[in-house]
Amino acid sequence: MEVYFDNAATTKPSDEVIEVMIKALRETYGNPSSLHKKGVEVEREIKKARKVVAKALGSSEKEIIFTSGGTEANNLAIQGILKANKRNGNHIITSKIEHKSILSTFKQLEEEGYEVTYLDVDKRGFVSLQQLDKVVTEDTVLVSIMHVNNEVGSIQPLEAIGKLVKKKNPKTIIHIDAIQSFGKIKFSVKDLPIDSLSISGHKFHGPKGIGAIYIKKATKIKPLVVGGGQESELRAGTENVPGILGLAKAAQSIVEQQDEKIKTLARLKRNLVDLLEKEIEDIHITSEIHDDFAPHIINVSLKGIRSEIMLHSLEGDEIYVSSGSACSAKKKGYSHVLKAMGMKEDLIDSAIRISISHINTEDEIRYAVEKIKKHCDSLRKIIKR
């Protein structure tokens, strides 16, 4: 039995997404910028796709810009907004547990002269509203916070964060990395006090290499890539038509019967955690069964067993999990997220991330726990010798 439990890294594209993309490659292959029939036909399909994504996010279609993925979306939001709002200040804020696409961008901006505040998090993985209240000033031009943490699943209180920041400085622009939350947490951008938000197709059963950013109307932003003026002159380059149509289909599908899909995720997570705690000794569950944790991410530490060893042991049983973020898993060093949460080194060293999808099953959970227990027992016997 193959069990894919690395859905926070990427998801399997759905059959309907694949069909839409194949059709686009075979039939809708014109250049959207061309004035002839084939170009107009493609332009019309992109408009439909933009409308679908806008509806899924709760925005207007004019507020949606397609990108090459989540990393570009985050970079466009942060760097594009700062380029357009230089007069508003020189201070920017993020947290210590952000995705590398955010942290690396902030590090670069810090080297370029921006004053950066990296917010601390508590042992559960939540930013301190008290600290945020203290550090927002008249010079704060941008705050970037992720909605759901990609390693532990903590859900940041976006409404409270947005209201606090806007009260301290109404001019401060708020960007949200929603790459791990879209499809797993119900939200609408029109109900949140934010200015931009990013998503990535391959995180919700869409294709890789395509993402989107919501830019609230009247938010000043400049492009990072210039050229033919595509995407409202914010992202030049011939559009990735199969990717855009695949993203739209995935977004449409993920929000259909979303309540049921989220309930399925919550049930699977609860049953998985219950079984792990029942069957395996010396286990530490970092991702809580709680409303302020996402239903698809379970970070657990199997004490005494290095995460890489467990990962490859499970791989032999065709069970696929990760030792953290896929974007930093190949780099040496401890998880910056778990370290920021104050976790002890032995727990960080033995942490694995299990991330599920609504298409996973109870049988897969039972099989995975059975194999994790088997490997824990055998590996710990070897370690004790």
Q: Which is catalytic among the residues 116, 164, 327, 359?
A: 327
Torsion sign, CA atoms 197, 203, 206, 210: positive
Closest CA to 348 of 360, 336, 359: 336
- In whole angstroms, give the CA distance from residue 190 to residue 60: 9
Residue 203 is classified by DSSP as: G
- In whole angstroms, give the CA distance from residue 337 to residue 288: 16
Helix, strand or coil for residue 363? helix
Could you give the angle at the alpha carbon of 260 between the alpha carbons of 257 and 265, nearest 5°? 125
8 A C-beta contact, residue 87 and residue 135 = no
- In whole angstroms, give the CA distance from residue 301 to residue 354: 11
Helix, strand or coil for residue 235? coil
Tally: H helices and E strands in the chain: 13, 12
Residue type, 277: E
- In whole angstroms, give the CA distance from residue 70 to residue 105: 13
DSSP H or E stretch at residue 40: helix 37-57
Q: Could you tell me which residues come within 8 angstroms of residue 7 by beta carbon, excluding any fewer than 6 positions away? A: 203, 296, 355, 356, 357, 360
47-68 b/e (C-beta count within 10 Å ≥ 16 → b): eebbebbbbbbebbeebbbbbb
376 is catalytic: no
352-361 b/e (C-beta count within 10 Å ≥ 16 → b): bbbbbbbebe
List, by residue number, the catalytic residues: 327
